Structure 1
Amino acid sequence: MIQVVYEWSVAPENVIEFREAWDHTTTIVRETYPGAHGSCLLEDKKQGAHMLTIARWNSEEEWRDFWTSDNPPEVMRMSQIANLVSVKVYRETGNHMS
Structure 2
Amino acid sequence: MALLKRELYRHVTGPEVTHADRCTLIFDTDAKKLYVEREVADFDASVVGTIQIQSSTMDIADYLKQGGQTAGHRELWRLLQTIFKEDNNSEEM
What is the TM-score with the length of structure 1 in the denominator? 0.29
Would you tell me which structure has more strand in proportion to its own residues? Answer: 2
- More RCO (CA 8 Å, sep 6+): 1
Would you tell me which structure has more helix in proportion to its own residues? Answer: 1
What is the TM-score with the length of structure 2 in the denominator? 0.30
**Which of the pair has more CA radius of gyration?**
2
